[in-house]
């Protein structure tokens, strides 16, 4: 299952209002590079017949079935990076080689 944090959902809603795409689902995609790293893509799009459809934090999500395997158990968040006062989306994915598990 793919999840979106509240912070990410708020930013997605803001982007949808600013871009005139209110009501459109958020399309997600993931591709594994030859290095093993995962590249993530997202944008508002119309649903296609074979899309997987989810809802998280009030956001309608669509993805092609071939992307669902890489995106399973992934969390989309919107965070400040390295105290730079620069906010950005991040994908937290245990399948990504760059993933660092939280300290327990």
Judge whether 63 lies within some domain.
yes
DSSP states along 14-31? HHHHHHT-TTPPEEEEEE
Query: 104 pLDDT band (50/70/90 cuts)?
Result: low
Helix (H) or strand (E) holding 1: none
Per-residue pLDDT, averaged over 76-80, amounts to 94
Judge whether 29 lies within some domain.
yes
Rounded to 5 degrees, φ, ψ at 28 are: -115, 145
- How many domains does one find in the chain? 1
Tell me which residue range forms the domain holding 39. Answer: 3-92
Give the predicted TM-score (pTM) of the model.
0.89
Helix (H, G, I), strand (E, B) or coil at 57: coil
Q: Which CATH number is 45's domain given?
A: 2.60.300.12
Judge whether 24 lies within some domain.
yes
In terms of Cα–Cα distance, which of 52, 39, 45 is closest to 2? 52
Return the minimum-mean-pLDDT range out of 68-72, 87-91, 94-98: 94-98
Judge whether 99 lies within some domain.
no
d(C-alpha 91, C-alpha 89), whole Å: 7
């Amino acid at each position: 299952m793919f999840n979106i944090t509240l912070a990410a959902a708020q930013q997605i809603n803001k982007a949808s209002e600013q871009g005139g795409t209110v009501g459109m689902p958020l399309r997600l995609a993931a591709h594994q590079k030859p290095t093993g790293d995962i590249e993530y893509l997202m944008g508002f799009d119309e649903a296609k017949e074979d899309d997987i459809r989810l809802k998280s934090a009030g956001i309608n999500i669509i993805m092609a079935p071939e992307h669902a395997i890489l995106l399973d158990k992934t969390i989309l968040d919107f965070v400040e990076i390295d105290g730079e006062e620069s906010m950005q989306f991040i994908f937290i994915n245990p399948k990504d080689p760059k993933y660092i598990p939280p300290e327990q």
